Amino acid sequence: MKKAVIFSFSATGNTQKAVSLFKQALEERDIQTEIRKIDYQLCDYGTKDFDLVGFAYPIHGFNAPKIVLETAKKLQKADGKPCLILKTSGEPLQINNVSSCKLSGILKKKGYEVTNEYHYVMPYNMIFRHTDNMAALMYDTMKKLIPCHAEQVAKGERHLLKKVFLGGLLSAIFRIEFIAYQINGRYFKVDMEKCIACNQCVRVCPRHNIEYKDGKFTFGKSCLGCTACSFSCPKDAFHIGMLQGWKVNGAYDFSAEPARQRGHHERYCRRAYDKYFANAEKEIAKYLEERAHKAV
C-alpha cells in the first residue's frame, strides 16, 4: 500500500474540510494518508517513509501563507518525490493559481516535484460574508470534485493549474503582506465588555501570538493575518486593525440548502463563479460516467 503525508494549514476550517475529504478519497484508493497540522509547534518534517507529499492551505493575497512556506523549507530532502498541492479561496479567479509559485520553487530546491495541484472555492473568512446557501453550494461542489482529483493522483495522472502571465512577479509583490500582517496584528483589540474570557482565540492562533493574562490581551509580532482569532470569537469582540472593514465572524452553516449567492454581493465575480461551477459539473459528470462504464 502506498503512503502519503499532507502538511495542512487551516485557520478557519475550510482547508481542513478539503484535506480531510482528500484523505478519505485517497484511502479509498489504497493510499494510506497522514495529515500533519501546520502550526508553531510542528516538528516532524520527515518524508522518507512516504510515496507522496502534499501541502494544503488557504490562499492569502495570491500566496501560500508564510507558515506554509516556512514548513516547506524545513522538509527532509528528497529525490524527485511527487508532491500534491491543495488550496482554497473565496473566489475562483485564475490569478489565485499563482499562489503556489513560491511554494513550488521551495519544494523543487528540496527535491520534490509538484505533479498535482487543485483549487477549491470555499466561503470567505475575510472581505465579506457569503450566504450560508452559497457556502453549502461551494462545499457540496468540493465534496463531489475531490474523488475525481484523488482518482487522478492514485492513477499517477498529472494535473497542474494554468498560471497567468507575470503571475510569479505579482505573487512576489504581494508577499509584502507578510510584513504588513505582523505590523497590523500588534494593533488588534478586544472589546472587554463583549469578551467572556473563553480563550478560544488563544487556542486557535497558529503562531501562539495571543496571550491572555490578568484580564488583559497582548498580541505579539508574528501574526499571519489568518483571522482565526476573530472568526472564531463567539461574541464578535475582536477589532482586527486595518482589516476591520473586511472582518467576517462566525461559522457558516454548511448544512443549508445549496444555492447561489443572493442579495448583497450577488454580482461579485459572477462570471468566475459561473465558470467554476459549470466546469465542476462537467468534471464530476465525466468522472461518474467513467465509473459507471467500468462497473458494467
pLDDT tens for 20-79 read 999 999 999 999 999 999 988 888 999 999 999 999 999 999 999 999 999 999 999 999
69 lies in the same domain as 113: yes
189 lies in the same domain as 86: no
Dig out the grid coordinates for 78 from the structure. Answer: 528528497
pLDDT tens for 261-295 read 999 899 999 999 999 999 999 999 999 999 998 87
CB atoms under 10 Å from CB of 144, counted, come to 17
pLDDT tens for 96-131 read 999 999 999 999 999 999 999 999 999 999 999 999
Beta strands in the chain (DSSP E): 2-8, 31-37, 52-58, 81-89, 112-121, 189-190, 210-213, 216-219, 238-239
Structural domain includes residue 137: yes
13 lies in the same domain as 98: yes
CATH of the domain at 167: 3.40.50.360
238 lies in the same domain as 280: no
Q: Give the range of the structural domain holding residue 188, as residue numbers without chain letter.
A: 178-246
160 lies in the same domain as 217: no
34 lies in the same domain as 164: yes
Answer whether residue 159 shows pLDDT above 80.
Answer: yes
Q: Identify whether the C-beta of residue 240 lies closer than 8 Å to the C-beta of residue 230.
A: yes
Q: How many domains does the chain have?
A: 2
Structural domain includes residue 262: no
Residue 260 identity (one-letter amino acid) = R
